[in-house]
Structure 1
Amino acid sequence: MTTKMATGTAGKDVTDVLRGAGLRPTRQRVSLAELLYSKGDRHISAELLHEEAVAAAVPVSLATVYNTLHQFTEAGLLREVAIDGNKTYFDTRVSEHHHFFIEGENRVIDIPGEGVGLGELPEIPEGMEVTRVDVVVRLREKR
């Protein structure tokens, strides 16, 4: 199977992208990358990716899924979106953007376009630099 990667790596083969990111394209990494990127840009938890892997008969443990997602993130192939201290999603769209989190559905969606304007950032401690600003807007149905 030759799955093409999503945004930022469109049209490239999974194994080529993994190699280009400095990752050895093991069978498990290739299988998980194919599952991740075959559906276009999306936000996924490790648990959901593990369920997809099991359904696709990919022999992989949940711990391996977590490790692989973190390796992909460190290599710049995914973007980590922390919602709460105990809930993390991985975004296949790695460009700068922000998110809505739909409470009750545990769903993350991109904020379209330039939908968030930031004022001034607080003074940065000496010796530090800003690497990224993440905005998560939490939503729920009106009561």
Structure 2
Amino acid sequence: MAAHRTSPNVSKPRRAAAPVGLLTGCPFHDVRSKLCAAGLRPTRQRIALGWLLFAKGDRHLTAENLQEEAQASRVSISLATIYNSLNQFTQAGLLREIAIDGSRTYFDTNVSDHHHFHVEGTNVLIDIPRVDVDYKGLPQPPPGKSIAGIDVIIRLRDKQSL
């Protein structure tokens, strides 16, 4: 087994990278493995953002939400770097981008095939399992095209009392 040097005088066996989604118990190792498995270089900033994104389970965040969490955790990172990292994570398949009304973009840590409820007037998205949506009656795509995916966002508002 190859040795991985952690300091000039100490060596220890290298652990095999955990498959994406498999947790080893070491949060930073898990994030590093997730980034490497997705083909991303595990920089200090990506690891810090990955920890903030993935440590709390499946959720929906904006870049601004992530910047607030980074600041609260004393992680110094610009909003531009956060946007760049979120886009890289999305392109690598670690996040799913959800645009609401063209004005607000959320990033979903749950990349499985599912849909969303959006509560109007809030920043709340709620997952809808894919099995709960009926796809009957979809229009036929134009000639030479095929449907690549379907994203459903159902907008909710509080019921008005009569």
CA deviations 1:46-90 (Å, max 9, x no partner) are: 100011001111111111111111100100000111111111111
Which of 84, 93, 98 lines up with 1:81 in the alignment? 98
2:21 to 9, 19, 22: 9
Output the amino acid matched with 2:37: G
Question: TM-score w.r.t. structure 2 length?
Answer: 0.79
Match of 2:134 in 1: 117
Gaps of 5+ in 1: 1-7
Distance 2:34 2:72 in 1: 24
1:67 aligns with 2:84: yes
Q: 1:106 aligns with which of 98, 109, 123?
A: 123
More strand by share: 2
Q: How many residues align?
A: 136
**Matched residues, percent identical?**
57
Tell me the C-alpha RMSD between the 2 structures.
1.4
Q: Equivalents in 2 of 1:128, 1:50: separation in Å?
A: 39
CA distance in 2, matches of 1:130, 1:113: 16
5+ residue gaps, structure 2: 1-19, 25-29
* Offset, 1:114: 1.8
User: Is 1:53–2:53 an aligned residue pair?
Assistant: no
TM-score, with normalisation over the residues of structure 1?
0.89
Is 1:127 the counterpart of 2:139 in the alignment?
no
* CA offsets 1:81-107 (integer angstroms, 9 cap, x no match): 111111111110001000000012221
Equivalent in the alignment of 2:6 = none
Partner of 2:27: none
Which residue of structure 2 aligns with residue 4 of structure 1?
none
Amino acid at match of 1:47: E
